[in-house]
Amino acid sequence: MVVYDGKAVFEGIAIGKIYVYTKQEQSVKRVKVDDCEAEKKRYEKARETAMEQLQALYDKALKEVGESGAEIFEAHQFLVEDGDFIDSVENIIDTEGVNAEYAVATTGDNFFKMFSEMEDEYFRGRATDIKDITERLLNVLSGASGGGIASDEPVIVVADDLAPSETVQMDKDLILSFVTVHGSANSHTSILAKTMSIPALIGCPVPLSDEVNGCLAVVDGYEGKLYVEPDEDVLTAKKALLQKEEEKKNLLNQLKGKENITLDGQKINLYANIGNTKDLGLVLQNDAGGIGLFRSEFIYLGSDHYPTEEEQFAIYKQVAQTLAGKKVIIRTLDIGADKQADYFELPKEENPAMGLRAIRICLTRPEVFKTQLRAILRASAFGKISIMLPMIISVGEVKKIKAIVDEVKKELDADGLGYDQNIELGIMIETPAAVMVADELAEEVDFFSVGTNDLTQYTLAIDRQNQSLDEFYDSHHPAIMRMLQMIADAAHRHGAWAGICGELGADLSLTKEFLAMGYDELSVSPGRILPIRKTVLETNVAEYKKETGR
Ligand code: PEP
Ligand code: MG
């Protein structure tokens, strides 16, 4: 048995085999081949498939975002068919007698370096395109869809770190737990673990090799430990703990169907945060009153092209219909910073968290934003949808967006397409600026939902992705607590409602505090709903206020 220490980001016990996830680009092996002609044929076939994929992407993008957005796929086609690239790959296969994957990866690396070092800015910019087409060709050659878990039983996923674009491609039914060597407690991998209610460890120095791959292991999300090849004693003890967890869950299940009401009659809505439609089962199982945060950018991260209006409409409609009249708050595209999709071709930035992200992208690429708004509005005819805007810093932004929403509504009217005329529009409060102008903002919108993950990051000036700063990331900081009270008060002064959808909303040690502050809603990982309901049912807000001297 070998034991590794990590930092637990979600409690619980997982027992299963380890699956070491390595990034696609690292997994190319050099294999000697006898039949070089056959390898060249494989490469030729892979080129044909890549060309077809790129043509399909070009056609979709052309319809969706016009010529300027589609050009990139045409450029990639030229690169796939580039004579120098092809010659180099074939030459490596012939001279070294190696597999096509290795020849493509080597050529890709060489060309990437060559382009990156060019004087001309245009050619330097093509380096990332080389990387893209290399990955595409490698995916086609290996038959991979790009990422994912190659296992037919649920596993403990062990990785160096996981980007949202990687987790989005994983089949969630196959994941018992996440263990990463790097990553921060506030990263999206941690959020995903919470959404799925599975134990997860970060900062765990486990080797990413065959030494652990396939081994039986236990993740203890209480102690923050990973046991590889556990002793009989440890295994028995952990199995018993797992059994206890099940019993606890059964007790909580008895709270299903109950109202979220305190002993002195104060009500609160408990909604769920989701990233995609696969989470809907958890929403219903945990008896959520609605969806308070649908992170719609995961649709974009899971796609290799701008999702079309129809693709998005189908997803939003499914969510609205499944929730059958319960509220579904769709957060508009929050891409950028740690959430990158290649086809957006976002500029490399010194400070991505403070860069071109979220609503700033929507305002600078209105055609992408309008496509999403059309899809959301059309889906609003099939349930109770609200629109929520991330990363707002000013009243001017909200006014601009409201004008765009009105424009889209008019277009839908002209097209004879139905939507909810009274659809709610709200904003996330994630920046100190939004807190300071909360009164003015509240006059413009129907609701506020506090994104405490980003609000803490921007208030404390601590990068939420930086693992080495976790000890300074104090989400209970008095500055945050005072802001939360200011936000709820400002909303209520202007007839708007206030909720919290950041991770802090699920902090059971603050549930009473949030009730005392007057919050109307908490939107949390589905697995947190019943534990919070239990606390709400046991709370007397008037007494708590007296105790805390309010
Ligand atoms: C937040 O910032 O608190 C939030 C809910 O948004 P995200 O975590 O997706 O940035
Ligand atoms: Mg945020």
Q: Which residues pair with 20 in a beta bridge?
A: 158
Task: Return the residue whose CA atom lies nearest to atom 4 of ligand 1.
Answer: 451
Sign of CA pseudo-dihedral 444, 450, 453, 456 = positive
CB atoms within 10 A of CB 174: 17
Of 89, 69, 93, 71, which Cα lies nearest the Cα of 80? 89
**Residue 196 belongs to domain with CATH number:** 3.50.30.10
Going from the Cα of 203 to the center of ligand 1, the distance in angstroms, rounded, reads 22
Which residues' Cβ are closer than 6 Å to ligand 1?
A: 293, 295, 334, 430, 451-454, 501-502
pLDDT at 471: 86
Going from the Cα of 7 to the center of ligand 2, the distance in angstroms, rounded, reads 22
| Segment (H or E) for 346 | none
Same domain, 218 and 292: no
| Long-range contacts from 490-494, C-beta under 8 angstroms, 24+ separation | 490/438, 490/439, 490/441, 490/442, 490/448, 491/438, 491/442, 491/447, 491/448, 492/518, 493/439, 493/442, 494/439, 494/442, 494/443
Of 128, 158, 35, 78, which Cα lies nearest the Cα of 346? 128
Same domain, 427 and 345: yes
Q: Which residues pair with 384 in a beta bridge?
A: 327
Mutate which of 279, 501, 507, 524 to test ligand 1's pocket (most atoms within 8 Å of Cβ)? 501
pLDDT at 169: 64
- 250 lies in some domain: no
- In the structure, ligand 2 is a single-atom ion and the residues with CB under 5 Å from it are 430, 451, 454
Q: How many domains does the chain have?
A: 3
Same domain, 387 and 271: yes
Counting atoms of ligand 1 from 1, which one is nearest the CA of 273? 5
- 29 lies in some domain: no
Which residues participate in catalysis according to the annotation? 188, 501
Same domain, 110 and 165: no
Task: Return the residue whose CA atom lies nearest to atom 3 of ligand 1.
Answer: 451
- Ligand at minimal distance from the CA of 500 is 1
pLDDT at 470: 85
Of 528, 486, 519, 485, which Cα lies nearest the Cα of 268? 519
Going from the Cα of 428 to the center of ligand 1, the distance in angstroms, rounded, reads 9
Task: Return the residue whose CA atom lies nearest to atom 6 of ligand 1.
Answer: 451
- 357 lies in some domain: yes
Same domain, 133 and 162: no
pLDDT at 25: 55
- Residues 346 and 364: their CA atoms lie apart, in Å, by 12
| Domain of 182, in residue numbers | 2-23+147-231
Same domain, 137 and 155: no
**Of 82, 114, 142, which one is at a domain's C-terminal end?**
142
The angle at the Cα of 355, spanning 351 to 358, to the nearest 5 degrees, equals 140
pLDDT at 35: 95
- 246 lies in some domain: no
- Residues 289 and 184: their CA atoms lie apart, in Å, by 30
- Ligand at minimal distance from the CA of 275 is 1
Same domain, 437 and 290: yes
- 242 lies in some domain: no
Counting atoms of ligand 1 from 1, which one is nearest the CA of 188? 8
CB 467 within 8 A of CB 203: yes
Give the chain's end-to-end CA distance (angstroms, integer). 53
- 244 lies in some domain: no
pLDDT at 117: 83
Same domain, 15 and 55: no
**Of 142, 173, 205, which one is at a domain's C-terminal end?**
142
**Residue 65 belongs to domain with CATH number:** 1.10.274.10
Counting atoms of ligand 1 from 1, which one is nearest the CA of 186? 8
pLDDT digits (tens, 9 = 90+) for 26-47: 568 899 999 999 999 999 999 9
Sign of CA pseudo-dihedral 395, 428, 497, 540 = negative
Going from the Cα of 388 to the center of ligand 2, the distance in angstroms, rounded, reads 12
Task: Return the residue whose CA atom lies nearest to atom 9 of ligand 1.
Answer: 295
**Of 231, 249, 278, which one is at a domain's C-terminal end?**
231
**Residue 491 belongs to domain with CATH number:** 3.20.20.60
Report residue 333 CA to chain centroid gap: 11
Q: Helix, strand, or coil here: 331?
A: strand
> Residue for token digits 């892979």?
46
Same domain, 212 and 357: no
- 83 lies in some domain: yes
CB 35 within 8 A of CB 268: no
Rounded to 5 degrees, φ, ψ at 308 are -75, 170
Same domain, 113 and 158: no
CB atoms within 10 A of CB 294: 29
pLDDT at 66: 65
Same domain, 132 and 162: no
Sign of CA pseudo-dihedral 358, 364, 365, 369 = positive
Q: Which residues pair with 294 in a beta bridge?
A: 274, 330
Task: Retrieve residue 96's tokens.
Answer: 């070294």
Of 111, 59, 102, 118, which Cα lies nearest the Cα of 80? 111
- 221 lies in some domain: yes
Task: Retrieve residue 154's tokens.
Answer: 């649920």
Same domain, 216 and 346: no
Instruction: Extract the residue ranges of the chain whose pLDDT is less than 50.
Output: none
DSSP letters of 135-154?
HHHHHHHHT--SS----SS-
